[in-house]
């Protein structure tokens, strides 16, 4: 073994062995974290570790490329020098440190999201200020880094003591000889790139087993190159005209009429009876506010949302309402554009996303003042750029005066500061005599779960329950202050989660993990009522416009929940790869490589069981998702 390691490419073999050992330990730790969710059958575990070893090897084949090139090109004289020996030890030390750091990072990523690195991790690499700040505030970073340094030093002590990387006397290999070995090693990542697909790890029904079979390094690489998945390339599809004909039948309603005979034009006139209302709207999207936290879902977390529970009891409360995705920008996209989610990246982060047909544009056309108010830095996730391109004035952390910030963390100002700023902005709009539409995005219910002390009975820093209770306090405080304002009696306050606190589960798309609250509050304008119709975030815009009795031209895919018939009820849930369509108690999931799965689910327990193919369900799902993608690509969703 020592002779093999002392070969010119011996360091590659040593790094591979260490990479596999660290990956094995990491996989085992992650498995133990989700022990009760994993299928522990002997063949299932063999598959987890067998497929895992394969993807570990594939990941290492990419990882080793710069090392192979260096060893291939360095002359023998320099390779055998004492300088290169110590340089090699230093590079190996750094390499092992990176491997160990990655293992620790995967632990914390899994702890928060229940998956390997994915699209979220790719975004985190871009927004380093917020992410590094979040990590520093959430975890004992000095202790972790010093512990990794210590372990790395112990490994290097063993390597140096055993002289594992000392060049052999036969190391003066001619260039032709080392070229052959180098080419063989470099062919491995090339073949992996051409042949291997990340979906090879997703062959079981248990989502945790699938994720454990993956390698984190490979997963983040796959997520990076698949940030935009073209629907017609990767998903099951129907002929365009047939698809749109079905979509039109799904979109039609008693109060709508299509304005064109062109089958791909879904523009229609929505007619609402009665006098048009000029209500102000304050639309609060709340970070990670899962429905399970609130009393109406029988919260098992204790009474952590007393204010929201009280507000819900005096509001229009939608009790069968679902988030379309697992990221803030997917929730904002659905609420703003009323369109099903696209596979890959959110429209908010894609190029050419300006002047889109949106809820804001409809308000602006009627003379409303539009503001997007965010507690953090609005460049994050391209939010400011998107909303500015679509008619909003953007206000973020940089627009707060020093005396307006009582507390802030890596993600932005605390929710009470954000909502106090919202009150001031509403006052300014009201003073001009203009009606206003303010879209708010909160941040406090996010790791590191820090907030001002003295507001609630859970001391900061806390866990998720503490952050939820603080956010609940801030919203309650906002409502009490808003009720004293001159504009309140003419203002609808909408409270909606951007997404759930987590979407981990054994199944591909765990339905109940996507359930979120939607509350529309103002007792003088909308009498309290519970609405149990199946719906999702794309339906918020048409519902609001219906409450205002507006007649307008629409390109929305969503529907007015209050006017939905039982046959029209449906919901959309997705992650960046899988697209789910729910109707009644069934869900069809569309995946890359034209894969389709059908399930029946129990709304109380969330248990999902496989069912036979349902062509009507499939046709409706494809009708929405494929057509939505077509409309976006052809820019048919633009404001005219």
- CATH class of segment(s) 240-633: alpha beta
Predicted pLDDT of residue 474 = 98
Could you report the per-residue pLDDT of 317-357, keeping only the tens digit for each? 999 999 999 889 999 999 999 999 998 889 998 888 999 99
Q: Which two tokens stand for residue 392?
A: 């909003």
101-105, 123-127, 385-389: lowest mean pLDDT where? 123-127
% the chain with pLDDT above 70: 92
Tell me what the pLDDT averaged over the chain comes to.
89
Predicted pLDDT of residue 220 = 80
Which spans in 338-414 are helix H? Answer: 359-365, 383-389
Average pLDDT over residues 204-220: 86
Predicted pLDDT of residue 197 = 80
Cβ contacts of 606-613, under 8 Å, gap ≥ 24: 606/505, 606/510, 606/511, 606/512, 606/513, 608/507, 608/510, 608/511, 610/205, 611/586
Cβ contacts of 219-223, under 8 Å, gap ≥ 24: 219/116, 219/117, 219/118, 219/121, 220/117, 220/118, 220/121, 220/122, 220/125, 221/59, 221/62, 222/198, 223/117, 223/118, 223/119, 223/121, 223/122, 223/576
Q: Which residues contact 129 (CB under 8 A, 6 or more apart)?
A: 377, 410
CA dist list (Å): 69 to 13, 27, 334:
15, 30, 47
Phi, psi for residue 88 in degrees, rounded to 5: -65, -40
Is 209:40 a contact under the CB 8 Å cutoff? no
Q: Which residues contact 184 (CB under 8 A, 6 or more apart)?
A: none
Q: Write down the pTM of the prediction.
A: 0.79
Predicted pLDDT of residue 229 = 66
- Residue labelled with tokens 């609130």: 294
Q: What is the largest CA-CA distance in the chain?
A: 93
Q: What is the CA 437 to chain-centroid distance, rounded?
A: 26
% the chain with pLDDT above 90: 62
Predicted pLDDT of residue 507 = 64
pLDDT at 169 over 60: no
* Dihedral over Cα of 60, 65, 70, 73: its sign: positive
Q: Is 150 left (phi over 0), alpha (psi -120 to 50) or beta?
A: alpha
Q: Which residues of 38-64 are buried (b: 16+ CB within 10 A; e: fewer)?
A: beeeeeeeebbbebbbbbbbbbbbebb
pLDDT at 505 over 60: no
pLDDT at 268 over 80: yes
Average pLDDT over residues 76-100: 85
Predicted pLDDT of residue 615 = 96
Could you report the per-residue pLDDT of 464-500, keeping only the tens digit for each? 999 999 999 999 999 999 999 999 999 999 999 999 8
Domain ranges of the chain: 2-225, 240-633
Could you report the per-residue pLDDT of 592-624, keeping only the tens digit for each? 878 899 999 998 888 899 999 999 999 999 999
Burial class (CB in 10 A: 0-12, 13-18, 19+), 166: middle
119-123, 183-187, 555-559: lowest mean pLDDT where? 119-123
Q: Residue 243's pLDDT band (boundaries 50, 70, 90)?
A: very high
CA dist list (Å): 502 to 27, 61, 113, 291, 586:
21, 32, 6, 11, 22
Element (H, E) at 159: helix 141-161
Q: Residue 393's pLDDT band (boundaries 50, 70, 90)?
A: very high
Predicted pLDDT of residue 108 = 84
Predicted pLDDT of residue 131 = 65
Predicted pLDDT of residue 204 = 83
pLDDT at 506 over 60: no
Average pLDDT over residues 544-565: 97
Could you report the per-residue pLDDT of 19-62, keeping only the tens digit for each? 999 999 999 999 998 888 888 999 999 999 999 999 999 999 99
String of DSSP letters for 84-142: HHHHHHHHHHHHHHHHHHHHHHHHHHHHHHSSSS-HHHHHHHH-HHHHHHHHHHHS-HH
Predicted pLDDT of residue 136 = 75
Predicted pLDDT of residue 128 = 59
Predicted pLDDT of residue 170 = 44
pLDDT at 114 over 80: no
C-alpha 465/C-alpha 42 separation (Å) is: 37
């Amino acid at each position: 073994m020592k002779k093999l390691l002392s070969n010119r490419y011996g360091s590659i073999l040593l790094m591979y062995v260490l990479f596999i050992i660290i990956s094995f330990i990491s996989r085992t730790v992650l498995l133990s974290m989700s022990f009760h969710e994993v299928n522990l059958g002997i063949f299932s575990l063999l598959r987890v570790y067998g497929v895992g070893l394969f993807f570990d090897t594939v990941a290492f084949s990419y990882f080793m490329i710069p090392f192979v090139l260096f060893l291939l090109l360095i002359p023998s004289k320099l390779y055998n020098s004492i300088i290169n020996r110590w340089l090699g030890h230093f590079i190996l030390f750094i390499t092992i440190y990176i491997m160990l750091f990655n293992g620790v990072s995967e632990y914390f990523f899994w702890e928060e999201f229940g998956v390997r690195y994915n699209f979220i991790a790719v975004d985190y690499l871009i927004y380093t200020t917020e992410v590094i700040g979040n990590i520093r505030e959430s975890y004992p970073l000095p202790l972790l880094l010093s512990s990794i340094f210590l372990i790395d030093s112990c490994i290097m002590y063993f390597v140096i003591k055993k002289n594992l990387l000392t060049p052999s006397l036969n190391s003066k290999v001619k260039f032709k000889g080392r070229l052959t070995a180098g080419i063989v090693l470099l062919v491995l990542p090339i073949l992996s790139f051409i042949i291997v697909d990340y979906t090879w790890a997703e062959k079981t029904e248990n989502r945790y087993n699938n994720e454990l079979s993956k390698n984190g390094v490979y997963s983040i690489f796959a997520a990076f190159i698949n940030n935009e998945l073209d629907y017609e390339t990767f998903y099951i599809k129907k002929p365009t005209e047939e698809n749109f004909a079905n979509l039109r039948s799904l979109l039609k309603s008693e109060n709508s009429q299509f304005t064109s005979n062109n089958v791909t034009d879904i523009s229609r006139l929505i007619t609402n009876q009665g006098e048009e209302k000029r209500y102000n709207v304050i639309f609060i999207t709340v970070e990670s506010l899962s429905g399970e936290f609130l009393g109406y879902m029988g919260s098992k977390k204790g009474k952590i949302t007393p204010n929201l529970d009280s507000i819900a009891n005096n509001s229009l409360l939608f009790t069968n309402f679902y988030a379309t995705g697992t990221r803030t920008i997917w929730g904002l996209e659905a609420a703003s554009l009323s369109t099903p989610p696209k596979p890959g990246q959110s429209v908010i982060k894609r190029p050419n996303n300006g002047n889109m047909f949106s809820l804001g544009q409809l308000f602006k056309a009627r003379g409303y003042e539009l503001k997007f108010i965010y507690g953090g830095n609005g460049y994050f996730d391209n939010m400011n750029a998107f909303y500015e391109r679509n008619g909003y004035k953007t206000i973020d952390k940089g627009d707060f005066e020093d005396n307006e910030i009582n507390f802030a963390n890596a993600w932005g100002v605390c929710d009470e500061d954000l909502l106090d700023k919202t009150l001031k902005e509403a006052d300014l709009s009201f003073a001009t005599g203009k009606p206003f539409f303010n879209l708010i995005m909160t941040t406090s219910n996010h790791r590191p779960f820090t907030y001002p002390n003295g507001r609630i009975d859970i001391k900061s820093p806390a866990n998720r329950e503490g952050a939820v209770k603080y956010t609940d306090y801030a919203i309650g405080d906002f409502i009490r202050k808003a009720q004293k304002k001159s504009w309140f009696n003419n203002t609808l306050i909408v409270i909606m989660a951007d997404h759930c606190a987590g979407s981990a589960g054994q199944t591909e798309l765990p339905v109940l993990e996507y359930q979120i609250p939607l509350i529309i509050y103002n007792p003088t304008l909308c009498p309290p009522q519970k609405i149990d119709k199946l719906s999702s975030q794309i339906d918020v815009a048409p519902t609001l416009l219906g409450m205002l009795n507006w007649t307008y031209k629409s390109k929305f895919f969503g529907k007015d929940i209050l006017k939905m018939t039982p046959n029209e009820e449906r919901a959309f849930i997705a992650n960046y790869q899988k697209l789910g369509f729910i109707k009644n108690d069934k869900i069809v999931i569309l995946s890359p490589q034209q894969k389709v799965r059908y399930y029946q689910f129990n709304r109380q327990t969330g248990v999902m069981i496989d069912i036979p193919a349902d062509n009507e369900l499939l046709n409706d799902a494809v009708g929405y998702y494929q057509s939505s993608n077509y409309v976006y690509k052809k820019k048919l969703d633009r404001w005219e």
